[in-house]
Amino acid sequence: MKFIIILMIIISFYCLSGCNNNPVSNTDWRSTTLFQKPGLIDSLIGTCSAYLIHTIPLDSLDFRNYRNISFNLDAMTDGDLSGLSIYYVRADTSVYLVNLNGQNEISNTKFISMPSPKIKDKLFMRLKLFASVCTGENYHLTVRDLRISGY
């Protein structure tokens, strides 16, 4: 009986002292949606001779209190020289957070995570539609369902 009581005290002491020193905190993994635009954001259609560029202002976002940020999006293109970028402007220079080029990068990217740039600034999205091969068909670049999160 004394053995069981001593064992219970040791286990209780271990849990009280060891369980509180957990180096992984649940707050490190909590994400906050900073920007969300469901549905179609933009769609470009052109021929191989067209070089189309659209710049879309997104919103002013504050990344200063986040360790990491993530971008979720649904994009598709069949233009091999197309581009999709998300950036902010600092001293008349574009600073790219996301810069996807070509069909493989744009059409196969759904989630991008990176360290936070620790800024509060206006973000822009730039779409560039271009193809190197003329097939006589139209080329497309479509972006849908953008969500930007901080965690």
Does residue 3 have a pLDDT over 90?
no
Return d(Cα 89, Cα 26) in angstroms, integer: 34
Per-residue pLDDT at 146 exceeds 70: yes
Residue 72's nearest CA partner among 128, 131, 151 is 151
Residues 6 or more apart whose CB falls under 8 angstroms from that of 59 comprise: 35, 122, 123
How many separate helices (H) and strands (E) can be counted in the chain?
2, 8
Say if residue 18's pLDDT is above 80. Answer: no
Residues 6+ away with beta carbon under 8 Å from 121: 60, 61, 88, 89, 90
pLDDT tens, position by position, 84-124: 999 999 998 999 999 999 999 999 889 999 999 999 999 99
Q: Name residue 138's amino acid.
A: N
Residue 26 has a pLDDT of 43
What H or E segment, with its residue span, contains residue 100? strand 93-101
Do residues 147 and 59 lie in contact, with contact meaning Cβ atoms separated by under 8 Å?
A: no
How many C-alpha atoms does 39 have within 13 Å on its Cβ side? 0
Task: Give residue 18's identity as a one-letter amino acid code.
Answer: G
- pLDDT tens digits, one per residue of 40-77: 999 999 987 778 999 999 999 999 999 999 999 999 99
Residue 48, pLDDT score:
77
pLDDT at 76 (0 to 100): 96
Identity of the residue numbered 139:
Y
Which structural domains are found in the chain, ordered by start?
Answer: 37-150 (2.60.120.680)
pLDDT at 29 over 50: yes
